[in-house]
């Protein structure tokens, strides 16, 4: 049986980035990502294959972006203030 890992969405690895195209499960309510330990996918920014657990904090050309969804209340307040 393949080991699965549970990661908070704010952990800066490829699997928690919105630009990573690989096999994962996202629990939006708990802000968690579940991936297989040996999972690989494609970085859509760098157009390369990478491990799901690849630490991106040291990559100078990384455009890591959180998977967290936008808060609809923030969007409404921005529309009212014009920001």
Q: What percentage of the chain reaches a pLDDT higher than 70?
A: 80
Give the pLDDT mean for 4-18: 95
pLDDT of residue 71: 59
pLDDT of residue 63: 94
pTM of the model: 0.77
* CB 48 within 8 Å of CB 41: no
* CB 33 within 8 Å of CB 24: yes
CA torsion 49-55-58-62 (nearest 10°) is 50
Give the pLDDT mean for 31-52: 96
* CB 8 within 8 Å of CB 28: no
Q: What is the pLDDT of residues 21-41, one digit of tens each?
A: 999 999 989 999 999 999 999
For the chain, domain boundaries: 4-81
């Amino acid at each position: 049986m393949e080991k699965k890992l549970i990661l908070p969405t704010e952990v800066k690895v490829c699997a928690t980035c919105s630009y990573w195209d690989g096999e994962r499960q996202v629990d939006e309510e708990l802000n968690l990502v579940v991936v297989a330990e040996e999972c690989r996918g494609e970085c859509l920014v760098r157009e390369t294959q990478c491990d799901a657990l690849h630490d991106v904090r040291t990559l100078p050309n990384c455009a890591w972006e959180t998977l967290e969804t936008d808060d609809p209340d923030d969007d409404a307040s921005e529309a009212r203030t014009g920001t």
